[in-house]
Amino acid sequence: VWPALQADKIIDHVYLIDTRALGLSRTVAAYLLVGDEVALIDMGYRSSVRTIRQRMNELGIRRLDYLLPTHVHLDHCGSCGTLATEFIQARVLAHPTAVKHLIDPSRLIAGATEIFGQELVNRYGLPDPIAPNRVASIPAGQTINLGRGLVLKAVWTPGHAPHQVSYELEGKGILFTGDAVGVTFPDVPVLIPTTPPPSFDLGLAVDSLKLLNACDVKQLCTPHFGALTNAKDELAKNINKLMEWRNKIVELRSAGYSVDSLVGSLIDDVARQAGVRASEIPDYLQVLMRVNVLGFVQYLDRKS
C-alpha cells in the first residue's frame, strides 16, 4: 500500500515526485517546478517514466520545457530521452561533459552494467538516446527563469561524478543537490556517502559541499530521498561523514581488509546507527554500500 499522495508539495509550484525506482517508494526522487514554464530536475530510471507521467497528470501538468538531469547516472537521467521524445518542446540541459552521454548512452549503459550487472541494469531500464539538437550544456552560474518567481541557477558540483550540476532556486533558500550530498533513506535514516566508481573524487566532493554551503540555502531537495531542512547542518554533516569514511577505509585497508570485509564493516556501522541488524539492511542499500566502498577504494588507489 503506497501513500496516497506521491507528489509532495515542497513550496508553492515545486513538487517532489517519488519515481518509485524498481517499485520501491522513497528511494529516488525527481523535482517538478511549475512556473509559466515547467522544469523537471532529475527524472529517475527509464523504468520510472510511467510513474512520472502519472504524477504529472495528477498535478494537471501537460508540458515540460526543461529536462535537467543533475548528472548522467541511470537513476537521474534514465528516463530523460523518453520524456524528451514525448515532450518535443523540452530542452535538455546538462553539464558539458554529460551532453555526449545523453546523445549516445552506450557508455553509460556499459559502465552501469559493469558495476550493477546485466540483470539489474535491465530492470533499471536502458535510456533512450536524445537527438543532438535537443541537448545543450549549462554553464556554471547560468540562470533559467521559469516565471512565477521561479529562477534556477546552475551550480557545478563535481565530486560524486565530474559531470554533476546542482540547482539553486534563487530567493527561496532551496537547493536541488543531485548526489552532491549523501543518501538518507527514510526507512534506514542514516547518512551514507555516495562515492561510486569510476571517478568519485573526495577533494572535489568536499569543495562542492562548501560551495553549496556558501549559497543562500535553508532546505536541501535531495534525490535519495526528499527535502531536508537545516541545510547548513546537513552539508557540514556530509563533509564530516566523508572524512569519517576516508579515515575508516584507510585504517582498515592498512590492516589488510579486503573490499568485501570493508563493505561488511561499514554496513555494520550503518545498521548500528539505524538500530537494526545488518541482515535487516535492505538489498538496494547493500548494493549501494558496495558500490560506494568500491568507488572510495578506487579513489584512494588513484591518489596513492
Residue, CB closest to Zn ion: 73
Q: Smallest distance from the beta carbon of 196 to Zn ion, in angstroms? A: 6
Q: Smallest distance from the beta carbon of 71 to Zn ion, in angstroms? A: 6
Q: Show the cell assigned to 234.
A: 546537513
- 73 or 172: whose CB is closer to Zn ion? 73
Q: Cα(64)–Cα(185) distance, rounded to whole angstroms? A: 28
Kindly determine how many residues on this chain lie close enough to bind Zn ion according to the rule CB under 5 A. 2
Q: Smallest distance from the beta carbon of 301 to Zn ion, in angstroms? A: 20
Rg (CA), the chain: 18
Q: Of the listed pieces 41-49, 53-61, 65-73, 145-153, which binds Zn ion according to CB under 5 A? A: 65-73
Answer for which of 55, 73, 91, 163 binds Zn ion (CB under 5 A) is 73
DSSP annotation of 24 reads -
Answer for which of 42, 65, 179, 234 binds Zn ion (CB under 5 A) is 179
C-alpha angle with apex 181: 29 to 234, nearest 5 degrees?
105
| Residue 37 in contact with Zn ion, rule: CB under 5 A | no
Residue 67's nearest CA partner among 104, 97, 101, 30 is 30
- 34 or 154: whose CB is closer to Zn ion? 154
CB under 8 Å, gap of 24 or more: what pairs does 247-254 form?
Answer: 249/293, 249/296, 249/297, 249/300, 250/300, 253/297, 253/300
| Residue 224 in contact with Zn ion, rule: CB under 5 A | no
| Residue 201 in contact with Zn ion, rule: CB under 5 A | no
Q: Of the listed pieces 26-34, 44-52, 120-128, 175-183, which binds Zn ion according to CB under 5 A? A: 175-183
Q: Cα(103)–Cα(128) distance, rounded to whole angstroms? A: 9
Chain positions 253 to 272 lying near Zn ion, rule: CB under 5 A, are: none
Residue type at 210 in one-letter notation: K
Q: Of the listed pieces 15-23, 171-179, 237-245, 292-300, which binds Zn ion according to CB under 5 A? A: 171-179
- 87 or 284: whose CB is closer to Zn ion? 284
Distances (CA, A) of 208 to 39, 46, 153, 231: 23, 28, 15, 14
Residues that bind Zn ion (CB under 5 A): 73, 179
